[in-house]
Structure 1
Amino acid sequence: MTDEINKCIEVLENGGLILYPTDTVWGIGCDATNEEAVKKVYQLKQRNDSMALICLVANDAMLEKHVEKVPDLAYDLIDLASKPTTIIYDKPRGVAKNLIAEDNTLAIRVASDKFCQYLIGKFKKPIVSTSANISGQKTPISFQNIDSAILKGVDYVVNLHREKQNSFSSSIIRLANDNTVKIIRE
C-alpha cells in the first residue's frame, strides 16, 4: 500500500488525476486545493463546473481546517452514520475556488477507508472524490465497469482493491450553520 500511496502523491503534487478506490465507489481524484487539477476533473467527466464535486479529508482536524465553522451536529452525523456520509458545509476555505458551489458550500466526507485515510493524511491536503464515470452515465459498481475514456484520462490508476464491488454512493446531507438539516441523497 505504501508504494501506491507514494505514486498517488507524486501525481497529486504535480496537478495530475488519480483513479482510486474510496470508501464507496471508485473515484477520480486530484488535489482539492489546485484549481487547474479540479478543472481537469470537470473536463474528464464532461461535467459542467457549476455542479459541485465532493472532497475527502483524512480526519476531523483536516475538516476543521477547511470549513469556517463545523456545526457540532456534524460530528454526531459522522460518528453515528451506518454508511459513508458526505456533509455539505457552509463557508469552505483553503480549497480551489472552482470546487466551491455557487452558494459558498462544499461537500466533504471524512474518509473511512484506510487507503484513503493514509493517502490524504500523508498528502496533507483534501482530495477530490467524484465517481469514475462520464457525467450522466451510470456510476460503475466495480473497477471492471469503468469506461476506457476515464481509464485513459487519468494520470495514475491505483493497483489495489480492483476486485471490490461497491454499488452504493455516500449519503449526502446539507448541514447549514444554523443546524438546518436537509437530506440530499440517502
Structure 2
Amino acid sequence: MDINDEIQKSIDILNKGGLLLYPTDTVWGIGCDATNEEAVKKVYKLKRREDSKALICLVSDTRMLQRYVYDVPEVAYDIIEYSTRPTTIIYDKPINMAKNLIAKDDTVGIRVASDEFCQKLIRKFKRPLVSTSANLSGTPTPKSFREIGSEILKGVDYVVNLQLEKSNSQPSSIIKISNDAVVKIIRK
C-alpha cells in the first residue's frame, strides 16, 4: 500500500464526482468533493439521510478554511490550535461550497484534518472533502473498517486501501462559533 498511489486513485474518483470510503482522523468516512452538488447528493442518497441534516467537511489547513468561510472568527484559530482531539467547528456564511452542503441557517461544519492521509489528499485535491461517518443514517457509527456495512462498501466508487485500525474511533467534537464569537458546544 503506497499512500501516494492511494491519493492519486482517490483524486481520480473525486474529479469524476465519485464517492470515497476513506480513513479520517476520527472514523472511516464517506467523502466527495465538497464543491460538487451532484456528488453531495450521492452521499445523502447512499446514507439515506435527509438533505436537511448537514454534513461535515474537511480542509487541509487554516489557509484552505479561509477560502470557504466568509469570515473566520479569531477564536476559531485558538480552538483549532489547542484542541486535544479532532474538533469540527460550525461556521456562519460558508462560501464556494456546494449549495446542498450548506445548512438552512447558512452554516457549515468544517474540521481541519489532522490525519496525514487526509491532509495530503486534500492538499493535492485543492478542495475540501465531505466527511460523514460510513454508516446508514440512524445506525451506529462503525468503530472499525470491519464494522462497515456491505451497502456502504458497494455504494462508494472507491475504498481507500489503507485499512488502518483507527486509534481514535469516535466522531469529532462539534462546536458552533457565530460571527459575534459566541461559542456553543454541540457534541463533546
TM-score (norm 1): 0.98
Aligned-residue Cα RMSD (Å) equals 0.7
Q: Is the CA contact 2:27–2:166 (under 8 Å) kept in the aligned structure 1?
A: no
Q: In structure 2, what is the Cα distance between the partners aligned to 1:8 and 1:28?
A: 12
Q: In structure 2, what is the Cα distance between the partners aligned to 1:8 and 1:46?
A: 23
Q: Is the CA contact 1:142–1:166 (under 8 Å) kept in the aligned structure 2?
A: no
Gaps of 5+ in 2: none
Determine the structure 2 residue equivalent to 1:19: 21
SS of alignment partner, residue 82 of structure 1: coil
- Superposed CA offset, 1:36-76 (max 9, x none): 00000000000000000000000111000000000000000
Which structure 1 residue ranges, 4+ long, deviate > 6 Å from structure 2?
A: none
Matched, 1:145 2:162: no
- Superposed CA offset, 1:84-116 (max 9, x none): 000000000000000000000000000000100
Determine the structure 2 residue equivalent to 1:38: 40
Superposition pairs for residues 1-186 of structure 1, below 5 Å? 1-164=3-166, 166-186=168-188
Deviation at 1:165, TM superposition (A): 5.1
Q: What amino acid is aligned across from residue 137 of structure 1 in structure 2?
A: T
Q: What amino acid is aligned across from residue 82 of structure 1 in structure 2?
A: T
Question: Percent of aligned pairs with the same residue?
Answer: 67
Q: In structure 1, what is the Cα distance between the partners aligned to 2:91 and 2:111?
A: 10
Q: What amino acid is aligned across from residue 47 of structure 2 in structure 1?
A: K
Q: What amino acid is aligned across from residue 21 of structure 2 in structure 1?
A: L
Q: What amino acid is aligned across from residue 113 of structure 2 in structure 1?
A: A
Q: What amino acid is aligned across from residue 154 of structure 2 in structure 1?
A: K
TM-score (norm 2): 0.97
Q: In structure 2, what is the Cα distance between the partners aligned to 1:58 and 1:166?
A: 19
**125-134 or 162-171: which moved more?**
162-171
Equivalenced residue count is 186
Q: Is the CA contact 2:21–2:159 (under 8 Å) kept in the aligned structure 1?
A: yes
